[in-house]
Structure 1
Amino acid sequence: MQIDEAKRAARERVWALLDAAAVDPRGRSAVGSIPSFVGAEVAAQRLAALEAWREARVVKCNPDRAQLPVRETALRDGKTVYMAVPAMAKPEPFYALDPDTVGLDAARSKYAADVAPTVGPGQMEPVDLVVCGTVAVDRRGVRVGKGAGYSDLEVALLVEAGRIGPQTTIVTTVHQLQVVDTDLPETDHDFSVDIIVTPEQTIFCDARRRPTGISWSHLSREKIRAIPALSARAEAQRLGDPAGDKP
């Protein structure tokens, strides 16, 4: 519980800083969200200049507005993009965006739902680069999201399916105010990022942390029931199918 409280305090501090600085381009509060920020396009350009980006053919990205420029850049660069379905609300919890068949509008989740198929981990290609949304991140790469836990679950699912591995680079794009100088708390089911990209700087992190899979003991029955991919996986494991997601 102390870790949860420390994470909540970190979120609230950063949200307050962002609101005080009025960084949202639409003038909205950051509270409760993966914050949008002025300069997100610049951060995406800075990311696109990195070797990890240039070498990546397949990118998995969160659906939040803050990373919209990243998703658009990936499609423009001819990369396959897997975008998480908001709240993992579908049995196949990722939109598959093929740059040869969808336009840049598909980088927005409300349009992706109309033009892109959904896929499960077993139907996906290995992921070269993960871009995640973040509320706060320290210089070691430890991140805190908005508290729902979806990013951790998405990564854990893909690790279990072998789609995220040691070769996968994990990146976050954030406003400079989201980078904190004090160490953030972390648990064994959290993942860390390898690279932090802001409009002003790129930070390479050393302390890599990856989950080995889904940490079922940290999930309530309500959470499992609310996420179709998790409930299906739990049922498959109960029936003796450890893969739980067939290609």
Structure 2
Amino acid sequence: MDSILMQLSQPLSLKSTLLNAIRTPPSISSISLRGSLHLIQRRHFKLESTKNGGTDTQRDLPFDEAAFEAERSRLDAQARKSMAEASMRDTEGASDDDPKAWKWVIRKRIWDFMESQNVAANPRPVHHRIPNFIGAMEAANRVSYPIPADEMELYQLCELEVFSDSQCVKVNPDSPQKGVRLLTLTGGKKLLTPQPRLRTGFFSIVESGMLTPATIKEACTSVGVAKYGKPIGLDEKIKVDLIVIGSVAVDPKTGARLGKGEGFAELEYGMLRYMGAIDDSTLIVTSVHDCQLVDDIPVQKLLVHDVPVDIVCTPTQVILTNTKIPKPQGIYWEMLSPEKLSQIRILRELKRRIERETGKLLPCGPSEKLPPTAQRTSRPGKRAFSKK
């Protein structure tokens, strides 16, 4: 484990990428969208064979917002229930060295504290979620950088050079990062966001040119991404300049981070590494409440696929972690359960591709109990559930 988590010989230098000059940050409402704005409605398509020559044709159907949101809410509830059961299994009678148990202990402490102190925000309760919090928009907007004598100067996130110079920003789809997604789109950047739990696809790209001022806020939601986003695949040629990731807890001194326990942030990161969209120099930012800052994540117990962060934004400050934790280099198949693989089509596609290219079978991880996932059906507007 120590060899896996050995320190980088050259820690990331972030100071050179930060502000070169002090600028007055504009408000979000004052930022004008770049380019001609027009509305592109996302549609579902059904393939049908024609009587003439057997050629497939496409018939577009309107996007069913209510059905999409109802399905998302139901599957999220099932996933949270499954995670609650997993946390009980992993912590009951477990030793302190168990690779899963200690993470659940820290997560529960943070979730309980946020609820008891009423700093949690909807959706509540925040347990088994990337927790939304009071001040999430301030954390998205406000960033600071260290200067001598520990003095701090406050700026807007959109004024931080590493953000303002980015053309494509990958942001997780959770509630507390909605403000970052809004900043990304109002700044005229490409927003890359994963489809929830990678259930029906991979990533979607949303661009401000796809939107009107009236729809830009909607495009920051899961429904909006489904409506206005362009789905991409593993062959998409993209360069991601910055990653914004959600967290349950983060150590600002080491950059060690804990998510909600499903591992999707790690899978998304690994697949982007495979695509060549990111590398070790791609900065990773998380936005959290100050109470989510911890000092008891044992770096030596982290696993090779755990993703560290370079910058931590809270409602009151930004912290450069100068993390020395190595970033994952791809998908670690020996840690991926057959159940999760069976539920995520894009992972199966990637596994087949690598095995075909190398001529070798990839390893598989131990089994686990997972919640149901969604599958497309031939009937428009309907979804079927695959129960594992």
Q: Distance in 1 between matches of 2:285 and 2:103?
A: 20
Q: Which residue of 2 aligns with 1:31?
A: 127
Identical-residue share of aligned pairs (%) = 34
Aligned ranges 1:2-17 → 2 under 5 Å: 2-17=98-113
Pairing 1:98–2:231 present: no
Q: Distance in 2 between matches of 1:61 and 1:241?
A: 32
Pairing 1:147–2:226 present: no
Q: Distance in 2 between matches of 1:112 and 1:36?
A: 19
Q: Which residue of 1 aligns with 2:335?
A: 218
Q: Deviations over 1:4-59 (max 9, x none)?
A: 11111111111111111112233721101000011011111113332211121110
Please give the secondary structure, in 1, of the residue aligned with 2:177. helix
Q: Which residue of 2 aligns with 1:161?
A: 275
Aligned ranges 1:40-79 → 2 under 5 Å: 40-46=136-142, 47-79=157-189
Q: Is contact 1:63–1:86 with CA below 8 Å preserved after alignment?
A: yes
Which protein is bigger by CA-based radius of gyration? Answer: 2
For 1:200, which of 309, 316, 339 is the aligned residue?
A: 316
Q: Which residue of 2 aligns with 1:179?
A: 293
Q: Which residue of 2 aligns with 1:132?
A: 245
The one-letter amino acid paired with 2:161 is E
What's the TM-score, normalizing by structure 1?
A: 0.93
Q: When the two structures are aligned, how many residues end up with a matched partner?
A: 241
Higher mean C-alpha displacement, 24-33 vs 148-157? 24-33
Unaligned runs of 5+ in 1: 243-247
Pairing 1:116–2:229 present: yes
Q: Distance in 1 between matches of 2:355 and 2:234?
A: 19
Q: Which residue of 1 aligns with 2:114?
A: 18
Higher mean C-alpha displacement, 158-167 vs 32-41? 158-167
Q: Deviations over 1:172-206 (max 9, x none)?
A: 00011111022344111111000000001111011
What's the TM-score, normalizing by structure 2?
A: 0.60
Please give the secondary structure, in 1, of the residue aligned with 2:210. coil
Q: Distance in 2 between matches of 1:99 and 1:169?
A: 23
Q: Distance in 2 between matches of 1:145 and 1:108?
A: 20
Q: Is contact 1:121–1:163 with CA below 8 Å preserved after alignment?
A: no
Q: Distance in 2 between matches of 1:26 and 1:214?
A: 33
The one-letter amino acid paired with 2:307 is F
Q: Distance in 2 between matches of 1:231 and 1:62?
A: 22
Q: Is contact 2:121–2:134 with CA below 8 Å preserved after alignment?
A: yes
* Cα distance change of structure 1 residues 23 and 180 upon mapping to structure 2, 3 Å threshold: same
Write 1 or 2 for the structure with the bigger share of helix. 1
Pairing 1:231–2:345 present: no
Q: Distance in 2 between matches of 1:45 and 1:152?
A: 25
Q: Is contact 1:62–1:132 with CA below 8 Å preserved after alignment?
A: yes
RMSD of Structure 2 on Structure 1 (CA): 1.6
Deviation at 1:241, TM superposition (A): 6.5
Unaligned runs of 5+ in 2: 1-96, 143-156, 360-388
Q: Is contact 1:34–1:146 with CA below 8 Å preserved after alignment?
A: yes
